[in-house]
Amino acid sequence: MIETRNLSKHYGEFVAVDRISFRVEPGQVLGFLGPNGAGKSTTMKMLAGFLTPSAGSASICGHDVVDSALAAKRLIGYLPEGAPSYGEMSVRGFLEFVADIRGLAGDQRRRRLDDVIGRLSLQDVVQQSIETLSKGFKRRVGLAQAILHDPQVLVLDEPTDGLDPNQKHEVRALIQAMAKEKTIIVSTHILEEVHAVCNRAIIIARGKVLADDTPRALEARSRFHQAVSLSAENAQAARDVLVRIGDVAAVEIDTQDQRVTAFPRPGKAIFGAVVEALKANGIQLREIALEQGRLDEVFRQITTTAKDAA
């Protein structure tokens, strides 16, 4: 479990993290979203015990990150931004070093090493020095290091940055596999990732929490939520039909691909009405879809209105 209370970090006048409070329980995968410089990494660095909070507090399974720093650090697995490690060491040498520092010994040490090397497919590079590895492998070494001691709490700062689509998929699967019994925080600015792994998302900008909800509920804030988009032979004709439906608030035609989107009035479902109206008026459809809402739009809307307000 991770809990923060009014967690803040100031650098002189500059407020990097501004009174952030949240609580993450085992089984939750929290996606930490925000523009660059929003305070995501700073918050994670405080959770991991690297930076000392200027005000407020944070605790890992009840251990305060400042007052009982060592106990907190033992429970946490942390992947720092950019997955730094010791380049001159071999992958095995590095992981053995971390295992020793983490107090793993004997059978358990061997089992855990074999397990993470297998899970992150590092078998072929264990003897290579880390600096000779590709970006994707370096990131996986960083992840292996973070999960080596099978921690209860995982804090992963951009775990899929720099990975190719296949590797991203593998890392997401790894996170999902661990999600059941662990408490996990993942920072990212790849929004599709939130769908793939998170069951909760916090959006922060300028150091403040702006939204804290499930990915679905966030999507529901989008004006695209429950909207119907379609492509028709004659976009203009389709539009003329759709604007006459009572529950349709607005209809837009994308200037690039001529895609027609009908937006519902708040709380209304329009899919059925749209389909019927189009059929009744003999509009030829190529394809039609019910939109779930667009996270990137919600993200932009939330983070830019915050900027305007500031």
Partner 1 sequence: MSPTRILFRRELASYFATPVAYVFIVIFLLLSGAFTFYMGGFYERGQADLQPFFGFHPWLYLFLIPAVAMRLWAEERKSGSIELLLTLPVTMGQAVLGKFFAAWAFVGIALALTFPIWITVNYLGDPDNGVIFASYLGSLLMAGAFLAVGSCLSAMTRNQVVAFILTVVACFLLLLSGFPMVLDFFRGLGFPQGVIDAISGLSFLTHFNAISKGVLDLRDLFYFGLMIGFWLYATTIVIDLKKAD
User: How far is the C-alpha of 193 from the C-alpha of 190, rounded, in Å?
Assistant: 6
* Tokens coding 290: 């019910």
- For position 50 contacting partner 1 by CB under 8 A, the verdict is yes
Q: How far apart are the first and last CA of the chain?
A: 32
CB 212 within 8 A of CB 308: no
The residue range among 72-80, 225-233, 263-271, 285-293 that interacts with partner 1, by the rule CB under 8 A, is 72-80
| Window 229 to 258, contacts with partner 1 (CB under 8 A) | none
List the interface residues with partner 1, window 97-136 (CB under 8 A). Answer: 97-98, 100-103, 129
The yes or no reply on residue 11 touching partner 1 (CB under 8 A) is: yes
User: Which range touches partner 1 (CB under 8 A), out of 48-56, 164-172, 182-190, 206-214?
Assistant: 48-56
**Number of residues in contact with partner 1 under rule CB under 8 A:** 31
Measured from the CB atom, is 148 or 238 closer to partner 1? 148
Distance CA(296)–CA(292), nearest Å, equals: 12
* Nearest to partner 1 of 129, 176 (CB atom): 129
User: Is 80 a residue that touches partner 1 (CB under 8 A)?
Assistant: yes
| Interface residue with partner 1, options 27, 37, 62, 84 (CB under 8 A) | 84
Sole residue written with tokens 């408490």 = 183
- 160 phi/psi in degrees, rounded to 5: -110, 5
Which neighbouring-strand residues pair with 76?
Answer: 153
For residue 62, state whether it binds partner 1 (rule: CB under 8 A).
no
Member of 85, 152, 160, 188 binding partner 1 (CB under 8 A): 85
List the structure tokens of 209.
């929490």
Nearest to 120 by CA among 101, 99, 104, 143: 143
Which stretch of DSSP H or E encloses residue 167? helix 165-179
Binding site for partner 1 (CB under 8 A): 11, 45, 48-52, 69-70, 73-74, 76, 78, 80-82, 84-89, 93, 97-98, 100-103, 129, 145
